[in-house]
């Protein structure tokens, strides 16, 4: 998983179909959070992201200029 200044949290494919580790994975899923109240396709910048250990399909993300966490459901690739 990675966060970047383009506004996206990305989940990377790290294993091939044989279960071997690959060094240049492809993006499996990506998440973003629009700037609240903006009609433009502008996104907040994620500053951190972590799997929620008690809910293995969910990710908690922190954003610059946002005072609360955002939860995403990794399995359905949507905000939860």
Q: What is the pLDDT of residues 38-80, one digit of tens each?
A: 888 789 999 999 999 998 889 999 999 888 899 998 666 644 3
User: pTM of the predicted model, to two decimals?
Assistant: 0.77
- Number of structural domains found in the chain: 1
Distances from the Cα of 7 to the Cαs of 2, 12, 19, 41, 59, in angstroms?
Answer: 11, 16, 30, 11, 15
> Which residue segment(s) compose the domain that 54 sits in?
2-79
pLDDT score of 79: 44
Tell which residue, 76, 67, 70, has the closest CA to residue 7. 70
């Amino acid at each position: 998983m990675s966060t970047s200044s383009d506004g996206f949290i990305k989940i990377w494919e790290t294993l091939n179909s044989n279960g071997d580790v690959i060094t240049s994975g492809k993006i499996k899923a990506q998440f973003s959070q629009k700037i609240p109240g903006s009609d433009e396709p502008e996104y907040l910048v994620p500053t951190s992201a972590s799997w929620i250990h008690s809910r293995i399909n969910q990710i908690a993300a922190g954003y610059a200029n946002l005072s609360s966490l955002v939860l995403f459901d990794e399995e359905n690739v949507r905000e939860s």
